[in-house]
Amino acid sequence: MTFSERNIMKHVDRTIRRPLYAGLVCLLCAAVQSCMSDGTGDKARTDKLEYEPRTNEVEVIRLEKGEFTRQLVSNGKLSASGRISLHFSGQAPVSGIYFRNGDSVEAGDVIAEQESEDKKIALESARIALARAELDYLDVLAGQGYEVEDTASAPTGVKTMAKVRSGYDAAMNSLVKAELDYAGTVIRAPFSGKVADLSLHRYDMSTSEAFCKLIDDRTLNVDFPVLESEYSFVEKGLPIKVIPYFGDGRFLEGRITAVNPTVDKNGQVAVTAEVENDGTLADGMNVRVIVERTVPDMMVVPKSAVLVRDNKEVLFLYSGGKARWTYVNILMSNSGSHAVTANTDRGSELAPGDTVIISGNLNLADGSEVVIKD
């Protein structure tokens, strides 16, 4: 490359590359300034939030003495108040089934039948045998000098002897048995209810086991256990709530009908209650049972008012715009409330008329400034 060519290349370098470098430097500085500016703004905003005073909004109630509903919770099982297992009197093919599981029947309805020709023939034979025995009975009385029209005048001893010789009593017994056997080929509902546990079909051979069950579930028994320490809490006539495990929150009301006066090997007492079925309950269903008793003259607060701090139960009282930390003892609880009293061992005081904070209290400390929600 000649001297002139080298000079030309240096001139191109100065005119093209240096402005490019300068532009890149400017862009880099602008980016750094922008980042520094954003970081400073975030820091300022963070500091502002950090030093803004926090307003604790709370809800309060006025503490008063009143009735507390004490609850005992247990698990129970439902059973129909009326129940019977229905059988055929013998084994034979099933000739007809007129109801299925869950069907409602009225007292006297025919639920199912067996093939019964042999039982029908046996019944007719028994009737014929009885008629023959009656004639023989009259013949024996006539042989003793009593007219057919005047058998009633025969002494009791003579009539007894005549029935034995004629086979009248045996024939009568055979007729009664034949009638029962024939009636046993038909299953009738002894009371109104619902058919349950029917598993056979037409033409199946019936067995000695129950053909089906009949239940009356308009009223249900509720069997549930309580601990022996709770024996004094339950008594006949006490109201209960029955809550199915549907998850929809509904409950039915009933009453205790029996308390077994013995404690089993598990330290439990068996209790039975009764509840009207609204159509949602079924025989054998598992339910939750709540027994309630009213205890008077208690200071009652919602469960949300009581917190655990330092492994002790506390609540906050509102006084002069501030929350005051107060230790309490929980005397008893139910699903939504506590009956409380002041923990005097910790120097606390609690009395009717105090203003108790029931919400917005999770982050409070003793002396926190609070504002009551409108």
Retrieve residue 315's tokens.
């609540």
pLDDT of 46: 46
C-alpha–C-alpha distance, residues 170 and 178, integer Å = 12
Retrieve residue 371's tokens.
């504002």
C-alpha–C-alpha distance, residues 127 and 165, integer Å = 18
In the CATH hierarchy, which fold is given to the domain comprising 58-67+297-372?
Answer: 2.40.420
CA atoms within 13 A on the CB side of 31: 6
pLDDT of 133 > 70? The answer is yes
pLDDT band, residue 59 (cuts 50/70/90): very high
pLDDT band, residue 33 (cuts 50/70/90): low
C-alpha–C-alpha distance, residues 291 and 231, integer Å = 12
Handedness of CA 304, 305, 306, 307 (dihedral sign): positive
C-alpha–C-alpha distance, residues 101 and 199, integer Å = 9
pLDDT of 26 > 60? The answer is no
Angle between helical axes of 156-166 and 168-183 (0-180°, round to 10): 70
In contact, 97 and 198? CB cutoff 8 Å: yes
pLDDT of 163: 87
pLDDT of 247: 66
pLDDT of 24: 44
Q: Where are the domains of the chain?
A: 1-37, 58-67+297-372, 72-79+217-295, 88-196
* pLDDT one-digit tens code per residue, 307-353: 998 899 999 999 999 999 999 999 998 889 999 999 999 999 999 99
pLDDT band, residue 53 (cuts 50/70/90): low
Architecture of domain 72-79+217-295: Beta Barrel (2.40)
Residue with tokens 């019964």: 116
With 0-12 / 13-18 / 19 or more C-beta atoms within 10 angstroms meaning exposed / middle / buried, residue 162 is buried
Q: Do domains 58-67+297-372 and 72-79+217-295 have the same CATH topology?
A: no
pLDDT of 158: 84
Which whole number is the average pLDDT over 14-32? 47
CA-based Rg of the chain, rounded to a whole angstrom? 46
**Most confidently predicted of 42-56, 241-255, 342-356:** 342-356
Mean pLDDT, the chain, as a whole number?
86
Total-model pTM: 0.62
Which whole number is the average pLDDT over 85-110? 95
C-alpha–C-alpha distance, residues 235 and 142, integer Å = 71
pLDDT of 290: 94
